[in-house]
Amino acid sequence: MSLNDAQNRAVETVDGPVLIIAGAGSGKTRVIVHRILNLIRKGVPPHEILAITFTNKAAKEMRERVAALLSGDAGMNRPVFMNERPFVSTFHALGVHIIRENAHRLGLTRHFTIYDRGDSRRAIKESMEQCSVDPKRFDPGTVLNMISRAKGDGFSHIEYADRADGYLEEIVAQVWEKYDAILARDKALDFDDLLLKTAQLLSGNEDIRKRYSSIWRYIHVDEYQDTNRVQYKIARSLAAEHRNICVVGDADQNIYSWRGATIENIMNFEKDYPEATVVTLERNYRSTKTILAAANSVIEKNRVRKKKTLFTENESGDKIGLIVAYTESDEARMVADTARSLIADGASAKEIAVLYRTNFQSRAIEEAFIKKSIPYQLVGVRFFERKEVKDVLSYIRAALNRESWSDVGRIINVPARGIGKATVAKIMAKMEDSLPQGMREKIAGFWKLLEDIRREAEEKKPSETVRFVIQETGIERSMKDGDPDAEERLFNVRELASVAAQYDHLPGLQGIEALLENAALATDQDELQKDDDVVKLMTVHASKGLEFDHVFIAGMEQDLFPLKHLDEKDVNEAEEEEERRLFYVALTRAKKKVYLSYAVLRTVYGAQRINAPSEFLDDIDPSLIEGQEPEKPSGAKALFIDF
């Protein structure tokens, strides 16, 4: 009785393949758990039901909701089903389960080690050393990302080597071979192996595949639009026997292609399973009519999608707010002021979120929230705590204070110079003369670099000093490799130059000292994260699956959102559509009110840039938006260009 017609149809269709196209806020988790309940009520033993989702949080919530439904159903056959539960997990947890039960097939024990990202980076560096690959030419993080992406596409290192095209891929193939040898030596698997090895076990061993196909006769896959090729293979292998596979997803919310997710999986489901039943959930229970009208008008421009139009029985609600600012600092201040007004009017801080396209935007927003004394939590790492930002600051601190060994130890091998921890220990022990001549030359070069940075800090403006560090240390070169993670780090260190520009007016070393002092104070906000009733600051990607009463989407500027990647002349259609899906996801996080903001002038890499408003603003009916003229700029004088 609590389900609408479309939801009820999805719940009642239990046999054969089912595709549930679930729009944002349409109650998809509710449908999955009620479908599981319905299967059990029809006599399917709980242990024969598998439900796979993407995050531990989502899996935990689904388990709890299934357990609550089962315990609350008076008609359930208690003696039979009392101690049984469906298998609900993430893809990675499922992989661990299958691998542990078949560890001997892979030359492992049940207690094999699982490498985290740090372990993998260490092993990649060791592999590069074995291959005599210069880490200054080939960033270990980039090599690891390329291997990770290839594993997600289902390739072993042998298959990758056979198809390697070009010098970089050949280098990666060599490193990958050594990396796999290190994993084997340690009896370990990395995160990608948990999926790849599972897929290989299922596809290469018919007895294993049949065993798990017979155990799990009914399979559910949540967020199907986010599956990569290996996850697709796992689900397809498990469902091959009975074909009772129910996938739930929304092509309009496919936003993870950069980590291997392919929209083709959900788009081609009906080709894979011609007999599939398709159910579309279009009723939204989350947002107002105004928000949905905006979201629908934005996403309907995409060509690659399963067509649907979200609707709601909720009220029309407030118009979308438009905040136009002169600079990013003014934008952040206006967002903070609006958030503070909402809280003063009775809104809960935890029901407010500020979303942005890239991490570097958080710096100005954080500063505004600190100045306004608004409690907040940055979902992710705060700007000044990001490794790449701390590295640049450590260079400056070490240049000004040679006895700051924590800073020296942090950056003496960043980017890699071949100076290890043992060498650093000898330097600290004043035993530098005992080192080989080649090593002494490297260390002398490092000390000279610090002296050059000190001279720059004494003679130049803080923003110029930061740019000098980024360029002369090799940090910038190490990040210009086209990798999405490296690109994000480069945005962040360039943003630090913009931060430093605020202190350019101070004489001598006062500016750089003020930068270092304020950076240290700004990071000391840990106590705010312990308070749940705080405004959330996060990227749009991080907001996926969440909802808030009031949502700010900052930086609505062309080339920022939609994002134009560094040194990229043209954006292809697939990238354009993913940027549009990302904006659609951002809009549909909101329940009551959306605020869109942009800055006419934004400081990028220490220089001001004039911005055009995002093309996405033109996709929304002007009648749905209430505009706001920019206030008089605060602080530095700015030029306003009327577009």
Residues annotated as catalytic are 28-29, 222-223, 253, 589
Burial 332-354 (b: 16+ CB within 10 A, else e): bbbbbebbbebbeeebebbbbbb
- Cα–Cα distance between 185 and 173 in angstroms, integer? 18
Q: How many CB atoms lie within 10 A of CB 375?
A: 17
Q: Which of 46, 540, 21, 606 lies closest to 281, judged by CA?
A: 21
Q: Which residues contact 141 (CB under 8 A, 6 or more apart)?
A: 121, 483, 485, 486
- The beta strand positions in 308-454, using DSSP E, are 320-325, 352-356, 376-378
Residue 490, token pair as written in the block: 């480069």
Residue 84, token pair as written in the block: 């049984």
Q: Which of 364, 320, 353 lies closest to 601, judged by CA?
A: 364
Q: Which residues contact 158 (CB under 8 A, 6 or more apart)?
A: none
Do the strands 607-610 and 218-221 form a parallel or antiparallel pair, or are they unpaired?
unpaired
Residue 62, token pair as written in the block: 């689904």
Q: Which residues contact 446 (CB under 8 A, 6 or more apart)?
A: 412, 417, 419
Give the per-residue SS3 of 49-96: EEEEECCHHHHHHHHHHHHHHHHHCCCCCHHHHCCCCCEEEEHHHHHH
φ, ψ for residue 408 (rounded to 5)?
A: -60, -45
